[in-house]
Chains A and B, each alone.
Chain A
Amino acid sequence: MTVLLDVRGLNVTIGGKPVCEQLDLTIEANQSWALLGRNGAGKTTLVHQLAGLRPVEAGRIRINGHDLTELSPKARAREIGVLLQHSSRGFGASVFETVLSGRHPHLSTMAWENAEDHAIAKRAIARLGLDALSERSLDTLSGGELRRVELARLLAQETSLCLLDEPMNHLDLAYQASSLDVLYQTYVAPSRAMLMVLHDPNLAYRACDHWLILLGDGHWRAGPRDSVADPALLSLTYGHPIERIDSTHGPVFMPRTSLEGAPDNHDAAD
């Protein structure tokens, strides 16, 4: 298998608090990774770290055999694409212009995008179902539409590795499903892979074959999903009891809440 991302002995801290200590992680082509952890565990920080957007404190990150810190910003952006947690509208550029900006790392300083770049952007727009919005200004889009524009921009960037920070933010169920399909078809492919920050272990189980869990104190677990998707570990991760229920469609992870088994007060109140 082709190794895309190779992380050895990586230490990441944020404000003195450890995100991960001595992280070893190997992402191979054709793999889809989920990054899980409770709020504030440092998932976003780790994504920024793996994308080369923060300086490395200790350890090394190699992408396609190159040391990440030795690549120029543009060369790095041709290897790794990032979907940030929050999308920005900027100054109201159009959807098409925004998606086309994904071609930036492939162009020299003064170059304009050529016909091929335009075709790539148009294809990405079509795949995310944004054709009708192509000429609209970002100012006029809803949160979910803006999210799909960012995903299309990411496709146009044509990187081998794709890191997504909560890609399903703002998307309704239908668009979650269709966007996930597009991501899967694109990045679970020879010489490509993806890693996404997710909040829902059920979605993570369905969409990803590998999991990386941050426990919040610098400890971490990584591996094929079935070796990691353990209710005891998830309970520890989220600091909340989580049960695993096996169904015909695969396992379901259920957080225990006080709602279950509570008396149904509706009727009583009426």
Chain B
Amino acid sequence: MPTAQHKRILVLALFAGLVSLWLATSTGGTAIPATEVLTHLLSNDGSTHDEIVDRLRLPRALSAFAVGGLLALAGAFMQVLLRNPLGDPYILGISGGASAAVLGVMLLGLPAFWHTPGALVGALFSTLLVFGLSRGAGDWRSERLLLTGVVIAAGWSALISFVLSISPPVRLPGMLFWLMGDLGDADRPLLPLLLMSLGLAIGLLRARDLNLAARGLTQAASLGVNTARLRLELYFLGALLTAAAVATAGAVGFIGLIVPHMVRRLGGTDHRILLPAAALLGGALLVLADTAARSVISPMQLPVGVLTALLGVPTFLFLLHRRVRT
């Protein structure tokens, strides 16, 4: 029985998602009256506005939505795995591994189709590296894990600099923008949307297990959770969702940190509510951030990763400060 508060959180998240998409399709260099957007979405009259909405803004907005949802879910899963609200694919170096792998694929000149599998290999490898190295004896210590993640991320960024320095100069601006987290070329939202739904579906099947695992894996095992399997699923899902996000939009940081925290603050600590709400709010947040990124200094465009970092860095510091105090 979801409580009234649970329902309010879901309605709010859904509303935020819809409003963000509506704003994203109406805002931009060519302002399209908000009331017209729906007509353009539903019909096809061949007008310029129709083209802009259907071909440019909607695919980009949906891609942003999917990437935001993917990252928020990946963050929520990693936080359970680490039992630490500072878990985030970007901070732990998972995004870095995926980015380096995709750059490698770009350098080899392989078609864009290979970005997602490449990113998955990079993300999985990075996950194994971070968790394997910080395991040590017994359970993970959060500090050790975060430190390992930060150092691995630094390693990836060195590798990325190396790839960039040997890349042909004409491809550099594109690669750089993509690295900072950019949705300029994200016009195929279908695969990321499907993967986000898959991640959400698996997460919902395991939602009660996640609630228990958040209080410790031994505790969860004593209540009947198959923790070995759960841990494996969380590793793999975390890496897969991060990889799909990175392949679509590069390394967008901090969404996985900010959004689950926001939902918990609203009262949604139960993962049966937290996961769908985080997917919707993560999507909404990135759509809004991307709309702002392409509007604030229009006609120039900012990479959206710059904006999410501006929001994420203070959130991280706030959470860290609060944890140290308690």
Contacts and interface: CB of A to CB of B under 8 A. Distances in A.
Interface of A: 48, 51, 53, 72-78, 80-82, 84, 88-94, 97-98, 101-102, 104-105, 107, 109-110, 112-115, 118, 137, 139, 157
B136 interface: no
B212 A104 contact: yes
A110 B201 CA distance: 11
Contact of A88 (B1, B79, B211, B215): B215
A146 to B, nearest CB: 11
B1 A113 contact: yes
6 contacts: A84-B222, A90-B214, A101-B212, A107-B208, A112-B1, A112-B272
A91 B223 contact: no
Interface string B260-285: 00001000011010000000000000
A71 B214 CA distance: 24
A84 B216 contact: yes
Nearest to B222: A82
A110 B205 contact: yes
A211 B264 CA distance: 45
B226 interface: yes
Contact of A104 (B79, B208, B218): B208
Given A93-B269, A112-B1, A102 B216 contact: no
B214 A73 contact: no
A117 to B, nearest CB: 9
Contact of B214 (A77, A93, A109, A110): A93
B1 A105 contact: no
Interface of B: 1-2, 79, 83, 85, 204-205, 208, 211-212, 214-216, 218-219, 221-226, 264, 269-270, 272, 326
Contacts, number: 78
A102 B222 CA distance: 10
Nearest to B228: A73
Contacts of B215: 88-90, 93, 98
Most chain B beta-carbon contacts within 10 A, residue among A51, A93, A98: A93
B201 to A, nearest CB: 11
Contact of B222 (A77, A112, A137): A77
B83 A53 contact: no
A115 B1 CA distance: 8
A81 B221 CA distance: 11
A84 B218 contact: yes
Chain A contact residues: over half helix, strand or loop, or mixed? mixed
Contacts of A75: 224
Given A93-B211, A97-B270, A114-B1, A73 B226 contact: yes
B141 to A, nearest CB: 14
A247 to B, nearest CB: 38
Contacts of B205: 109-110
B269 A92 contact: yes
A77 B223 contact: yes
Contacts of B225: 73, 104
Contacts of A118: 1
Contacts of B221: 53, 73
Nearest to A97: B270
Nearest to A110: B205
Nearest to B274: A91
A48 B224 contact: no
Given A93-B214, A113-B1, A104 B222 contact: no
B1 A102 contact: no
B214 A91 contact: yes
A227 B270 CA distance: 49
B20 to A, nearest CB: 26
Nearest to B213: A90
B83 A102 contact: no
Given A73-B221, A91-B269, A109-B205, 14 more contacts: A51-B222, A72-B224, A81-B222, A84-B218, A88-B83, A90-B214, A92-B264, A93-B211, A93-B215, A93-B270, A101-B208, A104-B224, A104-B225, A112-B1
